[in-house]
């Protein structure tokens, strides 16, 4: 299989945002502003958990709609706007959310729980010198575990765009189709979007004004969309490569 063209995919993602007809911009401009407003409201009510929890659920709901629509615009060339219905989801949005949560629990939450359990066990049973040594290496262990977890996420994340366009592949399918490009997909779908997000969040100070926080959250939401675009284009490339290899095999067997 051809190696994933990381630079070309990133260029294509930014080109899609700035395409002549601005389909994606026209579709997502309202939800991006809406998520920015909600995030600013959450910042103002950060000490009120009764306000924050419903708003976080609403944010998650909107982000799922945005992600699914972005995948469908890129892969299926849809051009219709998002239909907001806070009382019912399409089945594909529900499946997308379930798979996203399942993947994150499997590759991030469970290893984190294991690490915290190990840390508690070692810090309560070891001597003070050994405990100090373990604490020193904890950041390194955490970094390595995060990279490993992110690699597993990269190997499974193609399930998300596949689900968004109405396909129902298995986890084994995602694992198999990414086996030759796992590290490259790690860069395109995890490391690069995460780096952009960290840079964007570090631009605006935590005590910025309302306008500053609003602009900052719009930038973060836009970068999230770019990350989803990169995932869509990665999925397209992998699927096209599979078709190309299948056609070659069929021609050879004919």
Q: Judge whether 17 and 24 are in contact, CB under 8 Å.
A: yes
- Written as six digits, the tokens of 169 are 């592949």
Question: What's the confidence (pLDDT) of residue 215?
Answer: 80
Is 80 exceeded by the pLDDT of residue 244? yes
- Written as six digits, the tokens of 56 are 């976080």
Region 112-128 average pLDDT: 73
Region 74-92 average pLDDT: 75
Question: What's the confidence (pLDDT) of residue 140?
Answer: 83
Task: For residue 189, give the nearest of 135, 144, 137, 152 by alpha carbon.
Answer: 152
Please list, in sequence order, all residues whose beta carbon lies within 8 angstroms of the beta carbon of residue 115, skipping any fewer than 6 positions away: 141, 142, 145
Question: What's the confidence (pLDDT) of residue 133?
Answer: 67
Is 80 exceeded by the pLDDT of residue 155? yes
Q: How far apart are CA 78 and CA 105, in angstroms?
A: 31
| Comparison of pLDDT for 87 and 177, the residue scoring more | 177
Q: How far apart are CA 178 and CA 184, in angstroms?
A: 9
Distances (CA, A) of 134 to 90, 141, 237: 48, 9, 43
> How many CB atoms are located within 10 Å of the residue 226 CB?
20
Question: What's the confidence (pLDDT) of residue 213?
Answer: 74
Residue listed under structure tokens 């084994």: 172
- Written as six digits, the tokens of 176 are 């198999």
Q: How far apart are CA 122 and CA 114, in angstroms?
A: 12
Q: How far apart are CA 242 and CA 234, in angstroms?
A: 12
Q: How confident is the model at residue 151 (pLDDT cuts 50, 70, 90)?
A: very high
Is 60 exceeded by the pLDDT of residue 142? yes
Q: Judge whether 222 and 24 are in contact, CB under 8 Å.
A: no
End-to-end CA separation in angstroms for the chain: 21
Question: What's the confidence (pLDDT) of residue 122?
Answer: 67
Question: What's the confidence (pLDDT) of residue 205?
Answer: 56
Question: What's the confidence (pLDDT) of residue 20?
Answer: 57
Region 223-238 average pLDDT: 91
Task: For residue 148, give the nearest of 172, 182, 177 by alpha carbon.
Answer: 182
How does pLDDT run across 162-217, given as a tens digit for each residue? 999 989 889 999 999 998 889 999 998 888 888 877 776 676 555 556 677 778 78
Is 70 exceeded by the pLDDT of residue 86? no
| Comparison of pLDDT for 3 and 207, the residue scoring more | 3
Mean pLDDT computed over every residue of the chain? 83
CA 129 to chain centre: 40
How does pLDDT run across 21-78, given as a tens digit for each residue? 678 888 888 888 888 888 888 888 878 888 889 999 999 999 999 999 999 999 988 7
Is 90 exceeded by the pLDDT of residue 157? yes
């Amino acid at each position: 299989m051809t190696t994933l063209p990381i630079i070309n995919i990133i260029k294509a993602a930014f080109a899609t945002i700035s395409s002549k007809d601005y389909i994606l911009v026209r579709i997502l401009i309202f939800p991006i502003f809406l998520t920015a407003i909600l995030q600013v409201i959450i910042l103002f009510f950060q000490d009120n958990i009764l306000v924050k929890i419903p708003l976080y659920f609403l944010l998650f709901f909107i982000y799922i709609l945005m992600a699914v629509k972005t995948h469908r615009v890129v892969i299926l060339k849809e051009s219709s706007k998002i239909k907001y219905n806070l009382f019912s989801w399409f089945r594909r949005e529900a499946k997308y959310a379930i798979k996203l949560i399942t993947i994150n629990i499997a590759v991030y939450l469970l290893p984190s729980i294991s690490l915290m359990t190990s840390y508690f066990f070692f810090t309560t049973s070891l001597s003070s010198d050994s405990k100090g040594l373990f604490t020193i290496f904890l950041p390194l262990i955490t970094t390595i575990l995060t990279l490993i977890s992110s690699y597993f996420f990269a190997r499974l994340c193609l399930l998300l765009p596949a689900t968004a366009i109405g396909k129902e592949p298995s986890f084994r399918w995602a694992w198999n189709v990414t086996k030759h490009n796992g590290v490259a997909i790690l860069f395109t779908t995890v490391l690069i979007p995460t780096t952009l997000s960290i840079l964007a969040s570090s631009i605006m100070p935590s005590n910025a004004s309302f306008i500053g926080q609003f602009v900052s959250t719009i930038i973060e939401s836009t970068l999230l969309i770019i990350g989803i675009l990169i995932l869509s284009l990665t999925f397209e490339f992998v699927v096209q490569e599979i078709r190309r290899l299948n056609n070659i095999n069929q021609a050879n067997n004919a």
